[in-house]
């Protein structure tokens, strides 16, 4: 029987261990038996709950194939880039709940045109994280980790290193060169606040709140952290909002629901208007309660009662972030400034073994649904196109809240109706030609998590 985790519950697992065995044949047989058990579990869930289950052929489940390889062999590659499996249940849960073991920085990767070399640029750094204490900051450029040049074959493993010595790089005439400054740090468990930065701008007599949100983590923690920031902005007199979702790849649907309800017109909230409708495959559709197929606007004491909101977006804006944008669109003026979003219109459940003691430590997040707004809008495969296009100037490294950031400047002008004065000391960097890269873990975070009871 398939088992899945209800992400809103406190989870208790009884620790277990396998007896050591000096007989290599016994070890091999034990490993094969575990693979078979996990693969049977994978197939049972995928053939019933996976959104594209009808692309899976009926077959004998392999007893020796490594579960990760088997899982991805079942994924519908033509449309699904997001289904995910991990052999580390607790590590996955830490990421989703906002308590990851991490350096505390968010990377963007680029493959330098015409080479196999890869660079990393820092999107943001969480306060009091190892990266913050080491001195890393938004916009820092890296070519080497642990004295090894990043390339297309090693950048994922080097980024995932638990101990890192990072060497900063610099740009000159369109080329990236290693510098001399180095930082050393070790990963540790963090308790992140997704409300990374907030400030109030007063321009042309208009009070504009600006808030950077990095992840839609577990909704209780999200409501506490983001709610605290929104209350501060509201109490400071903010009457317009700019929500920066440039690097927010998604998370819990309930957290996205809460944020939308903090922004929407009060009448929309009181009418319990539809935020999003979930569409499952024909098998799973029969088992889902009708009330769990739709997410409505909910009462929210932080509600700003706005008729207009401005979102800053980039290619890393995905899934739950996109749901907030299209979910609000039928009810108010939604203005998008920046670059085209990623294009993630699907969602997952988290499945794990719930036996006591557990038979394995695997967890997976297959795509089980597509979502649509109240107007039926969905399947935006090429992303959401901004109303005002401007690429993210990440290589320029403007701090959050700096009015020289072109996206923020445009958003402020929309909110205030006036030209925003910029500094005369603008940062200018030669453009580097590159292709954006995403790691499997980054794609995993571009997700929409649906809390669900065991079924």
Q: pLDDT tens-digit profile of 183-224?
A: 999 999 999 999 999 999 999 899 999 999 999 998 999 999
Within 13 A of 399's CA, how many CA atoms are on the CB side? 7
β-partners of residue 85 are 364
Single residue among 124, 157, 190 that ends a domain in this structure: 190
Single residue among 190, 225, 253 that ends a domain in this structure: 190
Question: What pLDDT, on the 0 to 100 scale, is given for residue 431?
Answer: 75
Instruction: Tell me, yes or no, whether 129 and 148 share the same domain.
Output: yes
**Residues in CB range of 267: below 8 A, 6 or more apart:** none
Question: What pLDDT, on the 0 to 100 scale, is given for residue 429?
Answer: 59
Structural domain for 290, as ranges? 1-14+23-100+192-455
Instruction: Tell me, yes or no, whether 76 and 112 share the same domain.
Output: no
Alpha carbon separation from 336 to 29, 196, 229, 275, 329 (Å, rounded)? 56, 20, 22, 18, 11
Q: What is the CATH number of the domain that holds 169?
A: 2.30.42.10
Instruction: Tell me, yes or no, whether 70 and 172 share the same domain.
Output: no
Burial 89-120 (b: 16+ CB within 10 A, else e): beebbbbbbbbbebbbbbbbbbbbeeeebbbb
Rounded Cα distance between 22 and 3, Å, is 33
Question: What pLDDT, on the 0 to 100 scale, is given for residue 423?
Answer: 62
Low-confidence ranges of the chain (pLDDT < 70): 1-32, 423-430, 440-445, 452-455
For residue 310, give both structure tokens. 């401005």
Instruction: Tell me, yes or no, whether 113 and 2 share the same domain.
Output: no
Q: What is the CATH number of the domain that holds 59?
A: 3.90.226.10
Instruction: Tell me, yes or no, whether 157 and 242 share the same domain.
Output: no
Instruction: Tell me, yes or no, whether 352 and 376 share the same domain.
Output: yes
Q: What pTM, to 2 d.p., does this model score?
A: 0.90
Q: What is the 3-state secondary structure (H, E, C) of 275-316?
A: EEEEEECCCHHHCCCHHHCEEECCCCCCCCCCCEEEEEECCC
Question: What pLDDT, on the 0 to 100 scale, is given for residue 31?
Answer: 66
Question: What pLDDT, on the 0 to 100 scale, is given for residue 63?
Answer: 81
**Run of H or E including 325:** helix 320-328
Single residue among 190, 215, 236 that ends a domain in this structure: 190
Question: What pLDDT, on the 0 to 100 scale, is given for residue 13?
Answer: 28
Rounded Cα distance between 93 and 129, Å, is 19
Specify whether the CB–CB gap between 165 and 145 falls below 8 A. yes
Rounded Cα distance between 83 and 42, Å, is 12
Alpha carbon separation from 250 to 302, 318, 449 (Å, rounded)? 21, 6, 8
Rounded Cα distance between 312 and 248, Å, is 10
Instruction: Tell me, yes or no, whether 209 and 342 share the same domain.
Output: yes
Instruction: Tell me, yes or no, whether 33 and 168 share the same domain.
Output: no
Instruction: Tell me, yes or no, whether 184 and 301 share the same domain.
Output: no
Number of folded domains that form the chain: 2
Instruction: Tell me, yes or no, whether 168 and 213 share the same domain.
Output: no
How many CB atoms neighbour CB 148 within 10 A?
15
Instruction: Tell me, yes or no, whether 215 and 247 share the same domain.
Output: yes
Tell which residue, 408, 263, 256, 393, has the closest CA to residue 322: 256
Instruction: Tell me, yes or no, whether 44 and 128 share the same domain.
Output: no
Question: What pLDDT, on the 0 to 100 scale, is given for residue 424?
Answer: 56
Vertex 284 angle, CA 283 and 289, to 5°:
130
Alpha carbon separation from 316 to 9, 338, 365 (Å, rounded)? 29, 11, 20
Residue with tokens 């401007």: 390
Specify whether the CB–CB gap between 397 and 69 falls below 8 A. no
């Amino acid at each position: 029987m398939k088992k899945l985790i209800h992400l809103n519950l406190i989870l208790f697992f009884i620790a277990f261990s396998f007896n050591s065995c000096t007989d290599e044949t016994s070890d091999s047989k034990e490993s094969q038996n575990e693979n078979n058990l996990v693969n049977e579990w994978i197939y049972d869930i995928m053939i019933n709950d996976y959104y594209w289950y009808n692309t899976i052929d009926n077959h004998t489940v392999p007893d020796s194939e490594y579960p990760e390889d088997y899982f991805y062999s079942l994924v519908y590659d033509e449309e699904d880039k997001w289904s995910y499996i991990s052999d580390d249940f607790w590590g996955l849960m830490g990421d989703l709940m906002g308590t990851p073991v991490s350096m505390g920085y968010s990377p963007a990767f680029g493959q330098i045109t015409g080479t196999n070399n890869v660079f990393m640029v820092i999107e943001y750094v969480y306060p009091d994280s190892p990266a913050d204490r080491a001195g890393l900051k938004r916009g820092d450029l890296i070519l080497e980790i642990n004295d090894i040049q990043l390339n297309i074959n090693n950048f994922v493993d080097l980024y995932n290193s638990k101990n890192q010595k990072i060497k900063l790089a610099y740009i000159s005439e369109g080329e990236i060169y290693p510098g001399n400054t180095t930082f050393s740090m070790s990963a540790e468990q963090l308790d992140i606040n997704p409300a990374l930065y907030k400030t109030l701008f007063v321009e042309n007599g208009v009070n504009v709140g600006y808030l950077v949100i990095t992840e839609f983590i577990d909704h209780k923690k999200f409501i506490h952290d983001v709610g605290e920031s929104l209350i501060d902005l509201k109490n400071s007199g903010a009457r317009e909002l700019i929500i920066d979702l440039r690097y927010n790849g998604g998370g819990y649907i309930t957290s996205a629901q809460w944020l939308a309800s903090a922004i929407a017109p009060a009448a929309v909230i009181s009418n319990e208007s539809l935020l999003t409708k979930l569409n499952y495959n024909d098998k799973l559709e029969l088992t889902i309660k009708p009330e769990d197929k739709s997410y409505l606007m909910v009462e929210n004491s932080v509600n700003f009662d706005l008729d207009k909101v401005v979102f800053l977006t980039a290619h890393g804006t995905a899934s739950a972030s996109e749901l907030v944008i299209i979910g609000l669109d039928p009810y108010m003026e939604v203005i998008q400034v920046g670059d085209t979003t990623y294009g993630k219109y699907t969602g997952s459940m988290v499945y794990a073994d719930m036996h006591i003691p557990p038979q394995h430590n695997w967890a997976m997040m297959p795509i089980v649904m597509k979502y649509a707004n109240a107007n039926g809008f969905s399947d935006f495969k090429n992303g959401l196109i901004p109303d005002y296009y401007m690429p993210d100037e990440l290589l320029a490294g403007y701090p959050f809240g700096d009015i020289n950031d072109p996206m923020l400047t445009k958003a402020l002008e929309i909110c205030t109706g006036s030209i925003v004065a910029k500094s005369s000391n603008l940062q200018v960097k030669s453009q580097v030609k590159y292709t954006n890269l995403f790691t499997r873990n980054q794609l995993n975070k571009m997700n929409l998590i649906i809390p669900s009871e065991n079924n």
